A and B are shown apart, each in its own frame.
Chain A
Amino acid sequence: MIHLIYLLVFGFLLTTCIGLAASWIDRKVTARIQYRVGPPLLQPLLDIVKLLGKETVLPSGVSRVTFLAAPMIGLASVMVVSTVLWVNSLYPSQGFVGDWIVALYLLAIPSLSVILGGFASRNPLAGLGASREMKLVLAYELPFVLAALVPVIEADCSIRLGDILNFQRANGATATSPAGALALLVAIVCMQAKLALVPFDIPEAETEILCGPLVEYGGPPLAIYRLMKDMLLFILPFFLIILFLGGVRCDGVHLFWGVLKYVGLLALITVGRNTNPRLRIDQALKFFWGPVTFISIGAVLLAAWGH
């Protein structure tokens, strides 16, 4: 019972609220950078409510189950991973062995659900977008996992997020060590790609393939995808804070620091997406398999060597 409450209150409600607020901040700051006014505070929520009220249109000839289940799979995995992260932040001792692996797995599923939905749409543009997303997943997943390995190595090879947090509380954040700083850098770049934001919004490039995998989606399924993306906008930086920046503690002044860490990462995401053009998929592949992977391997070696 208590787990269900965790799932609904922390995993869904809290993450949704923060995610929608983050998406508003992102949109507002972007608008101000571009000399626009920007949306009102409730706009991200209203967008989703409005989409939920619309008709679900199925393209002719699609597999009904796959097409409709794909967004649900993505949302479900984001909910579960956010529960795992929240529980670990609130009660570092309550996690289970291997939740680091579970979190990494679950964070990969939203991209897979987009690929699934794209291929299920039977639309050449969606198919193209899905295949681009697939290439992008292959590109960033290895450096992301390698970067996430650094805090594990530093915390005496424990794959429990709680241990990683406790280690950081005792010895300072992972990012303060050279290996941790490099790994954080890699993880931030991978996060941008996981969020499919410029310069890595290649799968959804609207001026090329009209939002790619989502082109056939509308109404409630699209609302679920939007919600999933907004939640990811909170969950991914949150994951990085836990791994590299000492986590978020909910007592007194520590909460303020936690908020500051998150806002800092969000600011990096927003600035990154406003000061770059979109890369081509082959350039993104070269970028991730070249320098980014090398840096992440270097970070892992440094961490294993004890820095």
Chain B
Amino acid sequence: MKETIIPIGPYHPLQEEPEFFTLTVEGERVVDIDVRVGYNHRGIEKLSEMKTFDQSTFVIERICGICSTSHPFAYTRALEDIISMGVPRRARYIRTIIAEGERIHSHLLWLGLAGHFLGYKTVYMWAWKLREEILDVMEMLSGNRNNYAMFKPGGVRRDIKAADLPVALGKLDSIIPTLEMLRKAVLEDPVLHARTQGIGVLSKQDAIDFSALGPTARASGVARDVRKDCPYGAYDEVEWDMIVTANGDVFDKLVVRIGEVFESVRIMKACLLNLPRGEIDAGIADIPPGEGIGHIEAPRGETFHYVRSDGTNRPVRHKVRAPTFMNLPTFKTTVKGATLSDATIILAAIDPCYCCTERMAVRDPEGRTLGDGYDLIRLSQEKTARIKRKMGNK
């Protein structure tokens, strides 16, 4: 059969961000896929190196509008790793509350979008309506709907007022019935089963081979969660379960994410109820020379930050790796062989976030690519080889 190229992107109603999938299809069946990002490169890592450590917290908060807490969380942990110091207990609880609120609204956002991609607009609107409730809670606690600006190296920037606690707890309790209804509407719909079960299966071995992260890996039976494996914040002090399923199809990713929303509500409530008294800021004066890493479980998987300091008030190097960067390559196995109708939901099932993942691409004015991600990988490998040679290591 004749092969046709179906472009999804750079602008396509499927996804809100500029990205480009080249789907090679035979009739309806996808035989190959190529992913290209780099349409929206903002040079955040470089920007971060030009700001002071405190200012960088705000810059990297704007890497992504949805993971606006995960990035500062990982970054501040990287700085605290350089100093090897702890954070006051109350600050750790507040950080956990904000991070879990982000997870709830991120998962609900994805759930709505998944409905949209499947043509189920009602789920789209209902999930987003429910998301408004949690955004209201976040606005009450932090003053902002999305970019909370709560994090600073060594603690949090703002305290949670005692008067807000019962209101937030009440709101969290009140969303549970709606959440339960949405869960039933989604997980028990026979047509949704037909569209999502057995679709885009990522086997456990593939998930391990591709180093898939977050819900994408957990849906394939890989019990991998930074919150359990390497606890930070208050995750080792409250009770919660990791949701792991075995099949790795789109339906299991739905199950994992909806389950995690319930778990996040549980964590948030436990943290709000047991919020310890005390300081919220360790008062870091300056960052000594050295390097540190910070990794936390973002809604989409592990977010990893590396920061190197030379003793001045600016990072010398700041490296960001968002979870989507690791989850994107799984398309190579999940999308191939699927029909075009399934391909769209499979592409969405990893909950991709391209602005987190943006990599540089150099183009000339005519739009021809002079250098893209593949060239960067090649350059990086050549550099590694060069350094190895220099060090006399073959």
- On chain A, the residues within 8 Å of B123 by CB distance are 277
Q: Are A277 and B6 in contact (CB under 8 A)?
A: no
Q: Are A124 and B5 in contact (CB under 8 A)?
A: yes
Q: A277-B115, A281-B28, A282-B339 are in contact. Are A207 and B14 (CB under 8 A)?
A: yes
Q: A210-B12, A278-B195, A279-B191 are in contact. Are A128 and B6 (CB under 8 A)?
A: yes
A240-279: CB near B (< 8 Å → 1, else 0) gives 0000000000000000000000000000000000111111
A163 within 8 A of B: no
Q: Are B189 and A277 in contact (CB under 8 A)?
A: yes
Q: Are B116 and A207 in contact (CB under 8 A)?
A: yes
Task: Find the B residue at minimum CB distance from A204.
Answer: B119
B297 within 8 A of A: no
- On chain A, the residues within 8 Å of B340 by CB distance are 128, 208-209
A197-225: CB near B (< 8 Å → 1, else 0) gives 01101100111111000000000000000
Task: Find the A residue at minimum CB distance from B8.
Answer: A208
Q: Are B13 and A210 in contact (CB under 8 A)?
A: yes
Smallest CB separation, B198 vs chain A (Å): 12
For the complex, what is the distance from the CA of A163 to the CA of B331, rounded to whole Å? 59
A175-192: CB near B (< 8 Å → 1, else 0) gives 000000000000000000
- On chain B, the residues within 8 Å of A207 by CB distance are 13-14, 116-119, 344
Most chain B C-beta atoms within 10 Å of own C-beta, residue among A33, A209, A276: A276
Q: Are A277 and B119 in contact (CB under 8 A)?
A: yes
B194 within 8 A of A: yes
For the complex, what is the distance from the CA of A16 to the CA of B67, rounded to whole Å? 48
Task: Find the A residue at minimum CB distance from B344.
Answer: A208
- On chain B, the residues within 8 Å of A208 by CB distance are 14, 340-341, 343-344
For the complex, what is the distance from the CA of A124 to the CA of B340, rounded to whole Å? 13
Q: Are A278 and B120 in contact (CB under 8 A)?
A: yes
Chain B facing A: main interface SS: helix
For the complex, what is the distance from the CA of A276 to the CA of B120, rounded to whole Å? 6
Q: Are B28 and A276 in contact (CB under 8 A)?
A: no
Report the interface size class on chain B: 20 to 34
Q: Are A280 and B119 in contact (CB under 8 A)?
A: no
B341-383: CB near A (< 8 Å → 1, else 0) gives 1111000000000000000000000000000000000000000
Q: Are B117 and A279 in contact (CB under 8 A)?
A: no
Most chain B C-beta atoms within 10 Å of own C-beta, residue among A36, A209, A274, A278: A278
Q: A207-B344, A278-B119 are in contact. Are A124 and B4 (CB under 8 A)?
A: yes
- On chain A, the residues within 8 Å of B41 by CB distance are none
B129 within 8 A of A: yes
Which residues of B112-143 have CB atoms within 8 Å of chain A's CB atoms?
A: 115-126, 129
A305 within 8 A of B: no
A12-42: CB near B (< 8 Å → 1, else 0) gives 0000000000000000001001111000000
Q: Are A124 and B6 in contact (CB under 8 A)?
A: yes
Q: Are A274 and B122 in contact (CB under 8 A)?
A: yes
A236 within 8 A of B: no
Q: A206-B13, A207-B116 are in contact. Are A280 and B341 (CB under 8 A)?
A: yes
Task: Find the B residue at minimum CB distance from A206.
Answer: B13
Smallest CB separation, A6 vs chain B (Å): 38
- On chain B, the residues within 8 Å of A283 by CB distance are 194-195
Given A274-B122, A276-B191, A278-B120, 5 extra CB contacts under 8 A: A33-B122, A210-B12, A275-B122, A280-B342, A283-B195
Chain B positions within 8 Å of A, measured between CB atoms, are 4-6, 12-14, 25, 27-28, 115-126, 129, 189, 191-192, 194-195, 339-344
